[in-house]
Amino acid sequence: WLDGYTPVPNLRGKTQIKEFAEFPTLEQLPLWGFDGSSTMQAEGRSSDCVLKPVALYPDPARTNGVLVMCEVMMPDGVTPHESNSRATILDDEGAWFGFEQEYFFYKDGRPLGFPESGYPAPQGPYYTGVGYKNVGDVARKIVEEHLDLCLAAGINHEGINAEVAKGQWEFQIFGKGSKRAADQIWMARYLLLRLTEKYGIDIE
């Protein structure tokens, strides 16, 4: 789910263990709760917020796992929380949306591939570049693994490429339906953030 930080919310997540005979439907999943005072979505004296499942994806990182995108609701489980921008989307199930998500890999506070001080060679060879001097030794491994994770999760991932700056990359998502497309780009971001944890790399 998305927290209440502004101007850009952060992705949050936690794990629940449930048993199903087969891949569940949204109707089979219960509402869940969390402490909104820790996510800028409630005050400490009344901090209960509710998670409402709205989209499901196979979890490629867990056997028989399911990734569940949730909306944040008020304690009644019916009223959308004020931070719940997804609930305000006018859903057009027939419209197609394309996203180009650019991002930087960061390592120890600097873009991946930058020297400890100063700057790398001028831009030019990095865009769609190949070779160690242009993309380094781990960036392509991550973007390729992320591509595979997205495809395994059923996300309509369209492609990847290195971008114009050192440590900068891009992936493309093409989705049908306003909410479905938005869910896919957020889930793709979530998978990237989770993936880079094991490499000690941040995403900006």
Q: Which amino acid is at 123?
A: Q
Does residue 172 contact residue 98 with C-beta atoms inside 8 Å? yes
Place of tokens 């927290």: 3
pLDDT, tens digit, 9 for 90 and up, residues 153-203? 999 999 999 999 999 999 999 999 999 999 999 999 999 999 999 999 999
Residues of the chain with CATH 3.10.20.70: 26-84
Length of the chain: 204
Q: For domain 26-84, give the fold.
A: Ubiquitin-like (UB roll) (3.10.20)
pLDDT over 90 at 44, yes or no: no
Parallel, antiparallel, or unpaired: how do β-strands 202-203 and 32-35 relate?
unpaired
Parallel, antiparallel, or unpaired: how do β-strands 48-59 and 65-73 relate?
antiparallel
CATH superfamily of 96-203: Glutamine synthetase/guanido kinase, catalytic domain (3.30.590.10)
**Prediction pTM value:** 0.96
